[in-house]
Amino acid sequence: MSLLAVLHTPSLHLAILRGSAWLVPVGQRAEWLAEWQSELWYAWRELGDERDRRPELTGFCLGACRDALSIRRTAPLPRTWGSLQIEAAQVFPDLPSFGESRLLDSPLRCLVLLAILAAISALGALLRHGGPHLTAGFIPAVMLMFAPGWLVARVTTAMSLRDSPGARYGARLLAFFAAKMILMLAIAVFTVAFIATLDEKFVAIASQFFYWAAFLSTRWALLDQRQRCPVCLRRLGNTVSIGDRSKVFLEWHGTESMCLKGHGLLRVPENPEIGYHGQRWLQFDPFCAGLFRQL
Amino acid sequence: MADELKLSHTSAMILQALGSGYVYGFSVMEVTGLPSGTVYPAMRRLERDGLIRSQWEKESIAASELRPARKYYKLTASGKATLEASRKRYPLLSKLVPETETQNA
């Protein structure tokens, strides 16, 4: 008899079953565990007397782990914040949803929201203006950090403005992007100025604050730009994943997003080296807009 | 039947075992030679598809024999029809799983 055979005790088997039970959804867990414990009792009666066959019982219990995993895989997903938002959007279509950024869907609403935030941060900074910690050269010094922040964001964000679809809409897209960047810049400058007036020690690291503010705002503006329809500048929706990473030689894979006004489809390849380089905008015929209006 | 469920060989073997009178998971394992990690998940899928149904044995019966109650599985009408179709698809199926004594009697 091997030493390992001694380890195959009922305690080990019960521990495997109880450990696996944690994988089973709560509603089914008690019955699942009762069934496996009952089956183990009968299995022990059949095989337990033969010490050499006890490893088979351990294998039997390990099957419970696989069973629990298969139940977990097929169980309906728990109600998450995301699913609740989708349900809420179906009941109240006009309700703004922060998780899915419906608030920023419309380009006008997006700019108005940014302008309000810029105004609030400017007001906060101006109310404390003239505090002991701010000098005349503070703002220009801080602004110097914008270039590296912008550069790092541009390099690390997989999107260039040149890739933006539809050359005929380029000016409009660029104007929208510039407006976003100016407002984000204003928010960042005034917020950093406000933080610097709070305490003297913040003045020394204000440029660091601004570097990160520039980086994050540029990154956000680029990513937001990527999700916009070039025709109406609204955010694209119904994003789906297409293709399979393991079948790159047979078909392209990436994501497709659709303009909910029916202007077109944006295809973003997962791997630019396969298929075509960069994202591609597929313009729908004008009659499609009529179809989308009926939805 | 156009919408008839086509089973894999493993699922058909499990269905055949249940149809032959092996009504517990462990006995299905023993007669088919399949591991527990295959048999129990397959039986859950068959139950989900309405081919078999499960029921707990009465506690009083099990307690009187000083053993835990057991969950047993039975074929439904749909399961019997699917088993018949599977036997045509896999002709050796009934030879792979012998009938129980109670079934033979």
Q: Which of B37, B41, B69 is facing A38, going by the closest CB pair? A: B69
Confidence of residue B1 (pLDDT cuts 50, 70, 90): very low
Q: Is B42's pLDDT higher than 90?
A: yes
Q: Domain ranges in chain A?
A: 3-74, 106-226, 237-293
Choice among A96-105, A134-143, B46-55 with the minimum mean pLDDT: A96-105
pLDDT at residue number B22: 92
What is the separation of C-alpha B37 from the centre of its chain, rounded to a whole number of angstroms? 15
pLDDT at residue number A289: 66
Tokens for A277, please give them: 């380089």
Q: Across chain A, what does the average pLDDT equal? A: 75
Q: How far is B20 from chain A (nearest CA, A)?
A: 20
pLDDT at residue number A99: 44
A42 chain-B contacts, CB cut-off 8 A: 24, 26, 67, 70
CB contact under 8 A, B37 and A41: no
Tell which of A39, A47, A56, A58 to mutate to test the B interface (max B CBs under 10 Å).
A39
Q: Domain ranges in chain B?
A: 9-91
The full DSSP string for A141-195 is HHHTTHHHHHHHHHHHSS--GGG-S-GGGHHHHHHHHHHHHHHHHHHHHHHHHHH
The full DSSP string for chain B is -TTPPPPPHHHHHHHHHHHTT--SHHHHHHHH---HHHHHHHHHHHHHTTSEEEEEPPHHHHHHTTS---EEEEE-HHHHHHHHHHHHHSTTHHHHSPPPHHHH-
Beta-carbon contacts below 8 Å between A and B: 54
- Gyration radius (Cα) of chain A, Å: 29
Q: Is A8's pLDDT higher than 90?
A: no
Q: How far is A14 from chain B (nearest CA, A)?
A: 15
pLDDT at residue number B73: 95
pLDDT at residue number B96: 81
For the domain spanning B9-91, the CATH number is 1.10.10.10
Interface residue B65 vs chain A (CB under 8 A): no
| SS3 of residue A282 by DSSP | strand
The predicted-structure confidence for A179-229, as pLDDT tens digits, reads as follows 988 898 888 888 887 777 777 777 777 777 777 888 888 888 888 887 888
Q: What average pLDDT score do residues B6-28 get?
A: 90
Q: Which chain B residue has the Cα nearest residue A61?
A: B36
CB contact under 8 A, B68 and A60: no
The predicted-structure confidence for A20-71, as pLDDT tens digits, reads as follows 998 888 888 999 999 999 999 998 888 877 777 778 888 899 999 999 988 8
Interface residue B71 vs chain A (CB under 8 A): yes
Confidence of residue A98 (pLDDT cuts 50, 70, 90): very low
pLDDT at residue number B79: 92
Tell which of A35, A66, A69 to mutate to test the B interface (max B CBs under 10 Å).
A35
A61 chain-B contacts, CB cut-off 8 A: 36
CA distance A232 to A109: 13
A34 chain-B contacts, CB cut-off 8 A: 71
pLDDT at residue number B13: 92
Backbone angles phi, psi at B39, to 5 degrees: -65, -50
Between B98 and A15, the more confident residue is: A15
Interface residue A66 vs chain B (CB under 8 A): yes
CB contact under 8 A, B38 and A63: yes
Tokens for A153, please give them: 């964001």
Q: What average pLDDT score do residues B73-84 get?
A: 93
CB contact under 8 A, A43 and B25: no
Backbone angles phi, psi at B53, to 5 degrees: -135, 150
Percent of chain A with pLDDT over 70: 66
pTM of the full predicted structure? 0.48
Interface residue A46 vs chain B (CB under 8 A): yes
